[in-house]
Chain A
Amino acid sequence: MLSMTSHNLEFGRSGLDFVACGCSSNASYLVRNSSKGVLRRVKYEFGARKWLCFRRDFGSCRVVSTKTPEAFVNENPVLMSAAEQIFSAGGKRMRPALVFLVSRATAEFVGLKELTKEHRRLAEIIEMIHTASLIHDDVLDESDMRRGQETVHQLYGTRVAVLAGDFMFAQSSWYLANLENLEVIKLISQVIKDFASGEIKQASSLFDCDVELDEYLIKSYYKTASLIAASTKGAAIFSGVDSDVCEHMYQYGKNLGLSFQVVDDILDFTQSAEQLGKPAGSDLSKGNLTAPVIFALEKVPRLRDIIESEFCETGSLDEAIELVKSCGGIERAQNLAKEKADLAIKSLQCLPQSAFRLALEGMVKYNLERID
């Protein structure tokens, strides 16, 4: 199921080229064949952001698809459809891409020539966990749309969604265990625990105007940054780099993740439903108070009243959104995103210069550009 939108074919022959695990938003897991001398740019859904994909110059290397859908093939047709639904619905595959980029960036460090099968398996595990959490999240939030398509539970019912999510969590746990690396097992198990804690934290503080920035950051860590940090650190562990570098990779992932979440939260205010692929302002309407709102609450007491009313009056949600925008909540959130982004970039300093490190920096910038 390959569908790549290729634009601007460019030729490049830098020393170390690599095939990025990029994917177009309309394909499921792609296998990219390297073809010598072709640098491709792939257009992404998020408003013409471009992925620079370099091709690998080490023999016949290929970024293999994550094969996750195969795990479903023999099990059950409904589950298969559910998996298709979520896998094909335009995920950016950002997390596996990070795993691969960090793997290669750190591999260089220790002279590793090729990604190990642990690296690849780690990426699959990460994406399965991420996907499973999305499926359950949509059940928990009662969301109907994700990435412009109906959610799994909207289409197939809650039961299938719960089962599909459970199955994916279970598969990823099993693959994780069979990686036989205790450090990584503990790392990822912590993430799964953090996911659940994050959901609980969020569920417990809906419409709670006393939520502070710290609490928001913790929740964002649990829900988003934890997995990304574990991805980047895990990749480094499998490269066999020393623990300082692993720790830096962790910090990179964590701060990238936080920055990413803040940007997502900003976009919920600034983008249209069409761009978002789901209703705009849905965080706020559900009582999930994110960075822009938290900042705005400091300035505009009226906002508190509206939120506490849980938007029972028509038009109050729109009024709240306006208030958030007009009092600088968005700008301050942008600063926060940038602050975390800077920390992420700093953590990359320990890596030698390479195309991969550059791409990792590019990730950080790409994220910020979403709110330019």
Chain B
Amino acid sequence: MMSMKCQNLDFSRLGPDFAAFGFSYNASFDRYMIGKRCNGVPRAVQNGYGAQRLFCFRQDIGATEASIEGVAPIPAPLEEVKTGSRSPISLVNLFELVADDLIILNNNLQSIVGADNPVLMSAAEQIFSAGGKRMRPALVFLVSRATAEFVGLKDLTKEHRRLGEIIEMIHTASLIHDDVLDESDMRRGKETVHQLYGTRAAVLAGDFMFAQSSWYLANLENLEVIKLISQVIKDFASGEIKQASSLFNCDVGLDEYLTKSYYKTASLIAASTKGASIFSGVNSDTSEHMYQYGKNLGLSFQVVDDILDFTQSTEQLGKPAGSDLAKGNLTAPVIFALDKEPKLRNIIDSEFCESGSLDEAIELVKRCGGIEKAQALAKEKADLAIQSLQCLPSSSFRLALEEMVQYNLERIE
């Protein structure tokens, strides 16, 4: 199910070219497309994040043909990545280094989840095909490859791959339950699982995925990783509770917000990156740096998400805008704004009982610099993340990891 919009064909012939895997938000699950190589014609693909262009280069290594079914040859690490004129970073660009790893992952996920039951299968389809970026597994694969270089590992191990699957299952399960807990109807522009199939199916689908991921985790037989990931699952639950307990609570401070963001978002990402490095067999300092990278990237990511909830439209978000605030979930922009604007507190305390008060609150947040301060916070965490990558040797993978951080920040430029 391909849908590519081609614009601005660019010719380029730089060293090893590679076919990029792009996806558009409106495609379904099989959307990791492989641009078929046609001699000399690269394609640009427009993806959902507002007209960012992906430059696709074609592979110039023997008679290689990328096909959707087959597994494309893993591109050799690039000596340098030249993208010609600097365009905004796109995820696709970043992921192309690990694109076939992601394809394998997608196939495995579908078969793991869908095997038992048609309703589960549909529920899985619903959530798996609803435009997930696969950022977490991509991080696992990028860190795996970046650290593998370090120790001379030539290819990903099956533990690396399984870790990617586990992480994505846990993430997806948490989304399904989150939507039940938040009573959300829409996610990524589509109806949520529980909206479509009912609460029972959503609870069951989430439980099933958590259970599957626990089982696969146990069978990785690595105690350190088992403990790492179990901590994450515990953190998820704690994060939900923390959030549920402090709705509409204007006394929530920045630290508490960061703790909650750690529990809900950064913990999993940190465990992904650390876990990947553990399976590469690097020393514990490096693993710790990978943890810090993941953690700060995760925090930065969450802050950006929270900003976008104010600055993007419903259409762009795939769900109602301002929904965090509407539900009483006070995030970075609001917390900063509350410092400046006492009126905001009153409105929030009223829990938006008056019509128009939510819009007024959003305006206040925007007007008094809440967004800007949150942006600064996101940048601060991003810088910490970049710093943690210093321990890795330069490579296209490390570059991609840095660009992940940049990509995230660009979402709010």
Give A residues with C-beta under 8 Å from B. Answer: 75-76, 78-79, 136, 139-140, 142, 158-159, 162-163, 166-167, 169-171, 173-174, 176-178, 180, 182, 185-186, 189-190, 192-193, 195-197, 199-200, 203-204
Contacts and interface: CB of A to CB of B under 8 A. Distances in A.
Interface in B97-155: 116-117, 119-120
B327 to A, nearest CB: 12
Interface in B73-98: none
A197 B116 contact: yes
Given A76-B245, A167-B237, A174-B231, A195 B200 contact: no
A190 B215 contact: yes
Size class of the B contact interface (CB-based, 8 Å): 35 or more
Contacts of A200: 116-117, 120, 204, 208
B218 A199 contact: no
A196 B173 CA distance: 13
Interface string B231-265: 10110111011001100000000000000000000
Interface of chain B, main secondary structure: helix
A140 B203 contact: yes
B233 A173 contact: yes
A196 B208 contact: yes
A318 to B, nearest CB: 27
Contact of A140 (B117, B200, B227, B245): B200
A162 B183 CA distance: 12
Contacts of A139: 199-200, 203
By Cβ-Cβ distance, the 6 closest A-B pairs, closest first, are A189-B218, A177-B230, A167-B237, A196-B211, A196-B208, A170-B237
12 contacts: A139-B200, A159-B183, A159-B244, A167-B241, A170-B237, A170-B238, A174-B234, A177-B230, A186-B219, A190-B215, A192-B214, A193-B212
B223 interface: yes
B210 to A, nearest CB: 7
B221 interface: yes
B241 to A, nearest CB: 5
Nearest to A180: B223
A204 B234 CA distance: 30
Contact of A196 (B204, B221, B223, B226): B204
Nearest to B245: A76
A170 B213 CA distance: 12
A162 B177 CA distance: 8
Interface of chain A, main secondary structure: helix
A197 B214 CA distance: 14
Nearest to B231: A174
B20 to A, nearest CB: 37
B389 interface: no
Contact of B180 (A79, A159, A182, A193): A159
A170 B210 CA distance: 9
Nearest to B218: A189
Contacts of B221: 182, 186
A204 B201 CA distance: 11
A241 to B, nearest CB: 22
B358 interface: no
B244 A136 contact: no
Contacts of B233: 169-170, 173-174
A193 B115 CA distance: 14
A173 B204 contact: no
A218 B300 CA distance: 47
Nearest to B246: A76
B51 interface: no
B234 A166 contact: no
A170 B232 CA distance: 9
Contacts of B234: 170-171, 173-174
A299 to B, nearest CB: 31
A105 B41 CA distance: 74
Contacts of A185: 218, 226
Interface in B157-174: none
Given A76-B245, A166-B237, A174-B230, A203 B204 contact: yes
A192 B199 contact: no
Contacts of B14: none
A178 B244 CA distance: 27
Contacts of A136: 203, 207
